[in-house]
Structure formats: structure tokens, C-alpha cells
């Protein structure tokens, strides 16, 4: 498995925390149009997968504790591809990454803000 860059995870969290329109317009202002459309489209794939997983588990017991792990899993899946799901330690790694991120109050707030945004109507 490739090395996980903590700054990259923070960048992805920041991108997810922005409303859809801002992500597209900011990307368009800072990169060539073709690249920004591709980046926005790829980010939209992550949003869709994350929304689906969170919505499927929304009303289950333990959702609040599981939501950060689900968020990290979807980011890792998006970043490294579907094959990461086959790694025997994927579950443990994603849980440990989520736990480590939750130890930082700013990251904890960011993660739960993203979870709330993914579950809000119209997102």
C-alpha cells in the first residue's frame, strides 16, 4: 500500500467541507478548465460514495462513532482505488486513521461537519 500523506487527507477534508459550487469555482479560478472539471468530477464521485454509505447507516446504532471511519474509508478508497478494499488491514488502518484524526479538535469538527453536510437535504 502506498504511504498515506496526512496533509493530503486534510486537503480532501477541506475540499469536501466546501459547498459544491465553491469547489468548482475555486478550482476553475486556479487551474486550467479541463483539469478543474476533472478534479470537480472526481470529487463528486467521492461525495456520492460517501453520501450513499452515510445515508445507508444514518439510523443505525453507533452511527456517530462509525461516521468518521466511513469518511476515512471513502477518502482512502477514492485516493488509492478500489483495490485498497482488498488489503487485509484496510479496516484496521482506516479505523486507526479516523481515531488519530479525531484526537485533533479541528479535524474532529471538520469530519463531523462533512458528515452533517453529506446528510443534509440537497447535498
pLDDT in tens, 2-48: 566 667 877 888 888 877 654 443 444 444 444 455 566 788 999 99
Residue 78 domain flag = yes
pLDDT in tens, 45-94: 999 999 999 999 998 999 999 999 999 999 999 988 999 999 999 999 99
Domain count along the chain: 1
pLDDT in tens, 98-121: 999 999 999 999 999 999 999 987
Range of the domain at 56: 6-119
- What is the C-alpha to C-alpha distance for residues 26 and 31, in angstroms, rounded to an integer? 9
Residue 83 domain flag = yes
Eight-class DSSP state of 62 = T
Per-residue confidence (pLDDT) for residue 19, from 0 to 100: 72
Nearest in space to 14 (alpha carbons), one of 51, 91, 22: 22
Strands (E), the chain: none
- What is the C-alpha to C-alpha distance for residues 28 and 25, in angstroms, rounded to an integer? 5
Whole-number CA gyration radius for the chain: 14
Per-residue confidence (pLDDT) for residue 49, from 0 to 100: 94
Are 115 and 71 within 8 A, CB to CB?
A: yes
Amino acid at each position: 500500500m502506498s504511504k498515506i500523506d496526512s496533509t493530503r487527507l486534510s486537503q480532501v477534508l477541506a475540499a469536501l467541507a466546501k459547498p459544491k459550487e465553491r469547489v468548482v469555482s475555486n478550482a476553475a479560478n486556479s487551474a486550467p478548465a479541463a483539469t478543474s472539471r476533472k478534479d470537480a468530477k472526481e470529487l463528486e464521485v467521492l461525495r456520492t460514495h460517501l453520501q450513499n454509505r452515510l445515508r445507508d447507516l444514518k439510523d443505525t446504532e453507533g452511527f456517530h462513532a462509525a461516521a468518521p471511519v466511513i469518511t476515512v474509508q471513502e477518502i482512502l478508497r477514492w485516493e488509492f482505488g478500489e483495490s485498497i478494499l482488498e488489503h487485509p488491514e484496510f479496516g484496521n488502518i482506516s479505523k486507526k486513521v479516523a481515531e488519530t484524526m479525531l484526537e485533533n479538535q479541528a479535524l474532529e469538527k471538520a469530519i463531523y461537519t462533512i458528515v452533517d453536510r453529506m446528510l443534509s437535504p440537497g447535498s
